[in-house]
Structure 1
């Protein structure tokens, strides 16, 4: 009976530490980074005390491919968001719809989907949403259907690629999937989800989408180029993203992990954008 209990002891200890760690994170009384680190230290310490886990095992369990990929893409996004590119894209897309509420849902939702294929979907929504609200107020229409489309379709886009969402990165790294594997197997499902989401939004928000917009002339007078605060940097990052995207498609041919592709892009972006400036402000925007 003692041996039976001893065999379950590692599982019980690990589960207790895990549950307590997440419970403390949910309280938000202490920063989640501090709690996460504390939980990890306690877990390893318990493993050493009861002889079921070793620090070297903890280090081997860290997925540096995932961390490197997230770090590289976050640096690129941190530089890009300073240029006003996302706001530029939102205004340009809105003007193409000429203020039609349903077209705004489709176009801005689709733009968010496409951007989220490569870039972090949370950042994409956070930066596009304020412009969306301004446009909705200008046209005197409800912003809720458009914001819902952006939020839902950003997740849809993020699912489609290896780099779209952190879970994708972890799954791909653990299973050895390439960028192309994700594209081939997930993209058809994403198209179905994209279409289904738009259909549901059309039905649920049919009253809001039937409202005739006002001040269309003011929308058309908005100059999207005014949103771009740094054209040079924007062009550089666009070039870097094109290179990174191409490398993602062929990385397996060069036996290069996806994390290396992202880090190459981040290093190039920092080198070309601000070689003489302190990169600290950019690195502070990374979600450590």
Structure 2
């Protein structure tokens, strides 16, 4: 039965990577097959699902979905565009900074969906290619999302699973390395694209014509923003208040429902239910690996390769997570790696290995077009606008950025965590 569980999981990952079917369908089919063949029973399957992760995701999706109609995100994006004055260097860095910050405190997929339309508008306004702008935003979203517990699905999964790690722990331990990486990689991207981003002398006037204030919808703006800010503050304080992150997210979503004035059905439509059910199928498949003892065997293999060295284990997890995320998708790979890291920690809790997993999974999400949900969303948005990015074109940019990011992460871990 262990061979069946491993084969089903491997086939599902391959199908997701090669886009043989929608990833949610693949995950649910894989989970159903494993339950039917007896790789795990129904009760174990239900216990395998990390409901805290799902609750955190649903809560944040509702909060962001109810905030978006106020126009505050479009206001912010257009204001940043005006601040650039049409100058490529300023534009690239301001777009990267805005996307990184939004990704850290909303999540990287949501940030991409909010900012890509602005890049399309700026491309037309400044008569410059849109692909460089969007790729800068994609790289910034995955790096910025690394900084917080809620910024990227791998971090959400790790933060929900590991009770010892708080929201503040993520920012203190991952925020600085994410900031340095964002600055470094954005500079590299600017030099790579600087010739294609040359603007005409009247670019400043065209950008100055943008009216960010016209995007704001004043009705219920103040109470909605108050709830959004209060939720973020709640994440910072959840550890001293002894409240779980999922509780903060769901409480914020509940209050947002009360003050927004939107119907419950409309609010629930803001939730990406396909993503939620993808996670459910994924957790069940990983649960079958645990049930069949495969996770323990993988962990033993890691320990054998590293000789039990704490430093070697963390670096293998870092680079292995990045490689796996690049080839498959950082969400399923993280789901598979979390129980492995658990097994590696049988001798005692070691946060450095968890930070290595988070950095590897999040930074590895920049390597290929399929490595992160934000990448797929950005490429799809470009395709709908009439611009297509090939797998190779993305790889030529994403792989070097990922390698530079991993070198920075390695140096950080060796200097401050190991």
TM-score for the superposition, normalised by structure 2: 0.61
Pick from 178, 195, 213: which aligns with 1:207?
Answer: 195
Aligned equivalents of 1:178, 1:154: Cα separation in 2: 21
Partner of 1:217 in structure 2? 205
Once the two structures are TM-superposed, the CA of residue 31 in structure 1 deviates from its matched residue by 4.2
Partner of 1:117 in structure 2? 104
Is residue 144–residue 179 contact of structure 2 (8 Å, CA) maintained in 1?
A: no
Is residue 126–residue 199 contact of structure 2 (8 Å, CA) maintained in 1?
A: no
Q: Which runs of 5+ in 1 are unaligned?
A: 1-9
Deviations 1:50-104 (A, max 9, x none): xx63322222211111011000000111112222222211111111121111101
Partner of 2:177 in structure 1? 189
Is residue 87–residue 199 contact of structure 2 (8 Å, CA) maintained in 1?
A: no
Partner of 1:19 in structure 2? 10
Is residue 139–residue 213 contact of structure 1 (8 Å, CA) maintained in 2?
A: no
Is residue 86–residue 124 contact of structure 1 (8 Å, CA) maintained in 2?
A: no
Partner of 1:90 in structure 2? 77
Aligned equivalents of 1:28, 1:281: Cα separation in 2: 30
Partner of 2:37 in structure 1? 46
**Counterpart check, 1:37 vs 2:28:** yes
Aligned equivalents of 1:197, 1:35: Cα separation in 2: 34
Provide the secondary structure at the position in 1 that maps to 2:243. coil
**Counterpart check, 1:101 vs 2:92:** no
Is residue 8–residue 34 contact of structure 2 (8 Å, CA) maintained in 1?
A: yes
Aligned residue pairs total: 272
CA, structure 1 residues 181+29, in 2 after alignment: closer, same or farther (shift >3 Å)? same
CA, structure 1 residues 58+121, in 2 after alignment: closer, same or farther (shift >3 Å)? same
Larger Rg: 1
Provide the secondary structure at the position in 2 that maps to 1:149. helix
Partner of 2:124 in structure 1? 137
Partner of 2:380 in structure 1? none
Q: How well do the aligned residues superpose, as a CA RMSD in angstroms?
A: 2.0
Pick from 270, 279, 284: which aligns with 2:257?
Answer: 270
